[in-house]
Structure 1
């Protein structure tokens, strides 16, 4: 599989890789890439089944497929940025190959296994089971918490695309809810020596700060930032603030 890549002008001597959320695509990093162009050159792949990339072939579990494709893009140490599931992929790469990461910015990482929250787990399980009988309603429910968009305003084509992608959300659940990827293994987070920044929205679901607490407790060099008034989709709704926070972390490296 070869992912569709989006790349914007920037400092070619310092590459950065940005990984998007479920049901998104790499294009939403454009304003952030523009704000960071003096510092880094941002490349953003579309995940399998998203944007202009090919569909997931199902040969390996979804989180592993995304991680392998993203890791294959790293040719030298770089600044790694991820949002939502993209942040969990970035963290998985950093745990497996800390030498490949100059700085690590994790925006709303949805690694639910790090901070077991019965309500969040129940919500994800409800979406998983509902998707088997009513994928449209499962998609609407998922987006009401994690999507930050108005379902009613979506075009028919847009809704169809999102409904297809709910299967990919569920395919990633074993890694996110049960840590099937073993991201939280002993010594893994502790082995990351690059500066890490955990970014969240002030209006995000309560499980997000709980996850940040759990991750921060194990990381060597970590900062935290909250964007007031923002929700889970803050790279889209608050790109200026997010870009400034990413800049601060990159400059620490």
Structure 2
């Protein structure tokens, strides 16, 4: 077990922008990649728990958190690679949440030598069809975004993603939910990306069988149906993958069930290292 060291934070200049990062602990590197409209703050419980055994790194994707936009074309997998290289890391275990799971998938396919194992949380497959319920809720979200207040928009986002579709907010998750609201409100105050990322071609959905590292897929049973189906497809098509379904989580297991999530991931990482 590695000895926990003090937390470091700063910026890495690369690919035309400045990536905000946080790092903590010693041992094998473990990279955490957050979801859309979130930032490094979603990993607070993981930085503390994982840094007892690993060198844990999280960073803000460009245009989110404290990482600015940039004018020139970019790829998300090259951004992740640049953060690792900027910290002198040749290879790492990688955890990606939702949109961040796309970054993780692209990274392992573009630079397989840089990824030791993969944890895909509430994962997304670019090009996979959305469920009817998610499309209906998203249409309602767009209506609120265009005609309502920022507070109403952020609350609708929390109902969709933190609570889960049709679910009531849980008393035991109020502190984590408040942090989600804070991050999401911050995201809506930031300038929008002027140009979308250039996606890996062919995309991961056509290449899952190429992923050769140990892979854990984690999904929440209270999440939208299509995310559960994407998790099933990832488990079925990635050669060395296993899936765990959390009955009490929606889309944010690292936040709404942090102790359970942390135990599962640490157990998987120990097996992956053997």
Fold match, TM over 0.5? Answer: yes
Equivalent residue for 1:4, pick from 11, 20, 30: 20
Equivalent residue for 1:21, pick from 27, 35, 46: 35
Cα deviation, residue 184, structure 1: 1.5
Q: State whether residues 65 and 187 of structure 2, in contact with CA within 8 Å, keep that contact through their aligned partners in structure 1.
A: no
Corresponding position of 1:52: 66
Equivalent residue for 1:92, pick from 96, 103, 106: 106
Q: Is residue 2:252 matched to residue 1:240?
A: no
What is the TM-score with the length of structure 1 in the denominator?
0.78
- Structure 2 vs 1, CA of residues 93 and 106 (structure 1 numbering), >3 Å: closer, same or farther? same
Equivalent residue for 1:143, pick from 141, 158, 177: 158
Cα deviation, residue 252, structure 1: 2.3
Equivalent residue for 1:164, pick from 164, 167, 189: 189
Cα deviation, residue 44, structure 1: 0.1
User: Residues 85-109 of structure 1, C-alpha deviation per residue, up to 9 Å, x if partnerless?
Assistant: 1111111111222222111001101
Structure having the higher Rg: 2
Q: Distance in 1 between matches of 2:41 and 2:203?
A: 30
Count of residues in correspondence between the two structures: 238
Q: Is residue 2:204 matched to residue 1:183?
A: yes
Corresponding position of 1:35: 49
- Gaps (5+ residues) in structure 2? 1-16, 164-168
Deviates more, 1:128-137 or 1:25-34: 128-137
Cα deviation, residue 228, structure 1: 2.6
- Structure 2 vs 1, CA of residues 206 and 195 (structure 1 numbering), >3 Å: closer, same or farther? same
- Structure 2 vs 1, CA of residues 78 and 159 (structure 1 numbering), >3 Å: closer, same or farther? closer
SS in structure 2 of the partner of residue 236 of structure 1:
helix
- Structure 2 vs 1, CA of residues 158 and 34 (structure 1 numbering), >3 Å: closer, same or farther? closer
- Gaps (5+ residues) in structure 1? none
SS in structure 1 of the partner of residue 127 of structure 2:
helix
What is the TM-score with the length of structure 2 in the denominator?
0.73
- Structure 2 vs 1, CA of residues 85 and 135 (structure 1 numbering), >3 Å: closer, same or farther? farther
User: Residues 198-227 of structure 1, C-alpha deviation per residue, up to 9 Å, x if partnerless?
Assistant: 011221121211111122221010111122
Q: Is residue 2:81 matched to residue 1:71?
A: yes
Deviates more, 1:68-77 or 1:207-216: 68-77
